[in-house]
């Protein structure tokens, strides 16, 4: 073995673990927080994909609010994308545009989506959320990429988000901190009105303040 073992990127490591786990559900193992003292009551497929219960919530949110255009940042293996696409199919209309900037992860997600039977509801893009261009008005924005860029991401797309639309920011627990702080900051700047759902990794459900009836 060489002295300098190549460091595997976290996303690639979790991708390999997810392949080995083959869809088995585990108890959530992110650490307990004051707002979520029993994370083990939730379930997860892997540490990158949103908690299983959050995936169910995404499905229900889409069937409840009937969005036409959904934008997701951070596809990873396409699991949340597919839950949302299933809801769009059940609604009978709409589209999700999801971006993943890592080309290796993107290729895996694409393979999975192509084989899923839901690809007509999904536009998967191999690009960064900070560079991609979206045409039209966004009804549901799901921010789930890299933690430090979430604020820029939300601010970048805010003008295109419908006032009655929803903004979701995943990984907003007090332990992960960065996204939670970004949501508090945007609230104090008068941009968003936020609810912090006490899930293991934290989920902000927000609306922009401007333009609300
Ligand atoms: C937490 S995972 C997404 C999980 C996925 N939404 C799910 O629940 O199934 C975050 C992903 O965002 C990707 N990513 C990080 N920065 C990005 C950016 N600027 N634009 C697009 N994707 C990004 C990472 O490569 C990683 O695959």
Sign of the CA dihedral with 31 first, then 15, 178, and 74 last: negative
Per the CB < 8 A criterion, the answer to whether 198 and 154 are in contact is no
Q: Give 74 Cα–ligand 1 centroid separation in angstroms.
A: 3
With respect to residue 23, please indicate whether it lies within any of the assigned structural domains.
no
Q: Is residue 204 included in any domain, yes or no?
A: yes
Ligand 1 pocket, 11 CB below 6 A?
yes
Rg (CA), the chain: 17
**27 in a structural domain:** no
Whether residue 92 lies inside any domain: the answer is yes
- What does the pLDDT read at residue 3? 54
Mutate to test the pocket of ligand 1, among 100, 116, 143 (most ligand atoms within 8 A of CB): 100
Closest CA to 59 of 79, 29, 35, 31: 79
SS3 of the chain: helix, strand, coil, percent, to 5? 40, 25, 40
- Per-residue pLDDT 10s for the chain (213 aa) are 445 556 678 888 877 777 777 778 899 988 999 999 999 999 999 989 999 999 999 999 999 999 999 999 999 999 999 999 999 999 999 999 999 999 999 999 999 999 999 999 999 999 999 999 999 999 999 999 999 999 999 999 999 999 999 999 999 999 999 999 999 999 999 999 999 999 999 999 999 998 876
CB 86 within 8 A of CB 93: no
Residue 156 domain-assigned (yes or no)? yes
Task: Establish if 33 belongs to a structural domain.
Answer: no
Distance of alpha carbon 205 from alpha carbon 212, whole angstroms: 15
How far does residue 169's CA lie from ligand 1's centre (Å)? 12
Decide: helix, strand or coil at residue 91.
helix
Q: Is residue 114 part of a domain?
A: yes
3-state secondary structure of 186: helix
Beta carbon of 101 within 6 Å of any ligand 1 atom: yes
> Is the CB of 28 within 6 Å of ligand 1?
no
CA distance 53 to 178: 22
> Distance between CA atoms of 113 and 69, rounded to whole angstroms?
18
The domain that holds 71 is classified in CATH as: 3.40.50.150
Q: Give the number of the atom of ligand 1 that is nearest the alpha carbon of residue 132.
A: 20
Helices (H), ranges, 4-67: 10-21, 52-65
* Count of domains observed in the chain: 1
Counting atoms of ligand 1 from 1, which one is nearest the CA of 102? 25
The range of the structural domain enclosing residue 129 comes to: 52-208
Residue nearest to atom 4 of ligand 1 (CA): 49
Q: Between β-strands 69-73 and 95-99, what pairing exists: parallel, antiparallel or unpaired? A: parallel
Could you tell me if residue 149 is inside a domain? yes
**62 Cβ below 6 A of ligand 1:** no
Task: Confirm or reject: Cβ of 76 under 6 Å from ligand 1.
Answer: yes
Query: What 3-state DSSP class applies to 145?
Result: coil
């Amino acid at each position: 073995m060489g002295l300098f073992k190549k460091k595997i990127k976290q996303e690639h490591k979790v991708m390999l673990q997810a392949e080995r786990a083959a869809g088995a559900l585990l108890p959530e193992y992110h650490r307990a927080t004051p707002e979520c003292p029993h994370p083990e009551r939730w379930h997860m497929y892997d540490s990158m994909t949103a908690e299983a219960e959050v995936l169910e919530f995404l499905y229900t949110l889409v069937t409840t609010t009937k969005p036409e255009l959904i934008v997701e940042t951070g596809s990873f293996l396409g699991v949340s994308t597919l839950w949302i696409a299933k809801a769009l199919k059940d609604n009978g209309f709409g589209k999700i545009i999801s971006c993943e900037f890592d080309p290796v992860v993107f290729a895996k997600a694409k393979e999975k989506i192509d084989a899923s039977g839901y690809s007509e509801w999904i536009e998967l893009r191999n690009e960064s959320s900070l560079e991609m261009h979206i045409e039209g008005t966004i009804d549901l924005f799901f921010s789930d990429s890299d933690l430090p860029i979430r604020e820029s991401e939300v601010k970048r797309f805010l003008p295109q988000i419908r006032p009655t639309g929803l903004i979701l920011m995943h990984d907003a627990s007090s332990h992960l901190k960065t996204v939670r702080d970004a949501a508090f900051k945007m609230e104090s700047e008068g941009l968003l009105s936020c609810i912090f759902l006490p899930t293991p990794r934290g989920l902000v459900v927000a609306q922009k303040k401007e333009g609300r009836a």
